[in-house]
Each structure stands twice: as structure tokens, then as C-alpha cells.
Amino acid sequence: MAKFHGFGGVGHTRSASWRIVRTALHLRQRDVADKAGISQARYSLLERGEVAPTDLEERKINNALQLSPQVRQALAEAVELRSRTSE
């Protein structure tokens, strides 16, 4: 299993975006995991960027958070910009 390291690793914009949206919607990790049909423990690892999601997991989480492709792109760009300006 591939290991990623949260905000410092590959895929950090995706996991950061999920966390931002989840907290903005006042959802717990368990809420998103239940909606996505995955375990809370697995979602936690995915949100922290410690493991890479499968394509199916990514689609399920995006659907659970009701993220359109346009919103995902905007969030990814914002997180990437934030990480560059904080270096």
C-alpha cells in the first residue's frame, strides 16, 4: 500500500480539500465515511493523506461531500496556492 504524508506528500491537495469541505459542512469523519460506504478509520487515513484512495473511494467521497469537478478544481488550486505562500 502506498504511503503518503498528508500536506507534505502527494495528493495533499485532495485530502486538504476533503477536510476543508467536511469541516465547513459541520460533518464528522464518520458522517462522510458512512455516506461514502467506507470505514471511518479508512476515511481518516485518506483525509490525512497517509494512503492513496482508489478511484472508487475518491468518487464516493466526492459524492458524499457533493463536490462537483469545478469545486474540486477550485479547492485544489486554493490549497496549492496556500501551501506555496506558507513556505
Note the pLDDT of residue 24.
Answer: 92
**16, three cell numbers:** 486538504
* Separation CA 49–CA 29 (nearest Å): 14
* Separation CA 60–CA 76 (nearest Å): 18
Residue-wise pLDDT for 11-62, tens only, equals 567 888 899 899 999 999 999 999 999 999 999 999 998 999 999 999 999 9
Q: Give ∠ CA 12-69-64 in degrees, rounded to 5.
A: 75
Note the pLDDT of residue 73.
Answer: 84
Domains assigned to the chain: 6-85 (1.10.260.40)
- Asked if 72 and 64 count as a contact pair (C-beta separation under 8 A), the reply is no
* Separation CA 17–CA 20 (nearest Å): 5
- Asked if 27 and 45 count as a contact pair (C-beta separation under 8 A), the reply is no
